[in-house]
Amino acid sequence: MKQKVYMYQKFERLWHWLQALLIFFLALTGFEIHGSFSLFGYQNAAVWHTYAGIAEVILFAFGAFWFFTTRIWKAYVPTTKGLIDQMMFYAKGIFNHEPHPYKKTPEMKLNPLQRLTYLAFGFFMMPLMIITGVIYVFVVDGTIVISPFWLSIIHTFGAFLIIAFVITHIYMTTTGHTILADTKAMITGYEELDDEEHHHHG
């Protein structure tokens, strides 16, 4: 029997969808700047990419402030406990319809593998993109005089890491008890968990 549990707060959901929108738009304008295709025009893409980057810095700062002041950061502290079981579940168990090894609660909603992944996103991927992006703006502006080549390479590498993260993230949202269950939970805030165990799906 399943029970509806309020899992994701309003700010958390709003931050998530704004983050998704910005990442998509930054990728779209960023790859046009690199000449991958032509949609907005190079000049427009460059300007909009910069503005979207500024919006991302602001959104990331608000998110960091919220995560730390509400102490939700505790749910993201990495742990090796249950990590192997979690990896085995995603590699094999999920295809055999085995029960999920992690018991999810509103306070601790991330399994060990998710903690490591989101930690990498929040403390490595996004800071890498923000720092290189900000420095690049100052290089183009002429405030900092260094070669933009390596900055561009590192920034693009970070972009591919985030795209890989997003693709994996989208796939993982389909591993709930229904394909759209996790997406629905991030819209409504409520997730259906097993009543007796509150046990987490993917």
- Between 194 and 157, whose confidence is greater? 157
pTM for the whole thing? 0.85
pLDDT band at residue 103 under the 50/70/90 scheme: confident
pLDDT band at residue 139 under the 50/70/90 scheme: confident
Predicted pLDDT at 146: 67
* % of the chain at pLDDT higher than 90: 56
Segment 67-91 mean pLDDT:
88
- On whether the CB atoms of residues 136 and 147 are closer than 8 A, the answer is no
Predicted pLDDT at 97: 84
List, in order, residues 6 or more apart from 99 with CB less than 8 Å away. Answer: 199
Q: What is the 3-state secondary structure (H, E, C) of 29-65?
A: HHHHHCCCCCCCCHHHHHHHHHHHHHHHHHHHHHHHH
Segment 97-111 mean pLDDT:
85
> Is the pLDDT score of 13 beyond 50?
yes
DSSP for 112-169, written as a single string: HHHHHHHHHIIIIIHHHHHHHHHHHHHHHHTSS-S-HHHHHHHHHHHHHHHHHHHHHH
* % of the chain at pLDDT higher than 70: 92
Q: What is the spatial distance between Cα 184 and Cα 202, in angstroms, rounded to a whole number?
A: 14
Supply the Cα-derived Rg of the chain in whole angstroms: 19
Mean pLDDT of the chain: 88
Q: Which domains does the chain have, with CATH numbers?
A: 2-194 (1.20.950.20)
Q: How far lies 13's CA from each of 16, 18, 115, 183, in Å?
A: 5, 9, 18, 11
Predicted pLDDT at 16: 95
pLDDT band at residue 52 under the 50/70/90 scheme: very high
Segment 65-82 mean pLDDT:
87
Least confident of 55-64, 152-161, 192-201: 192-201
- On whether the CB atoms of residues 185 and 191 are closer than 8 A, the answer is yes
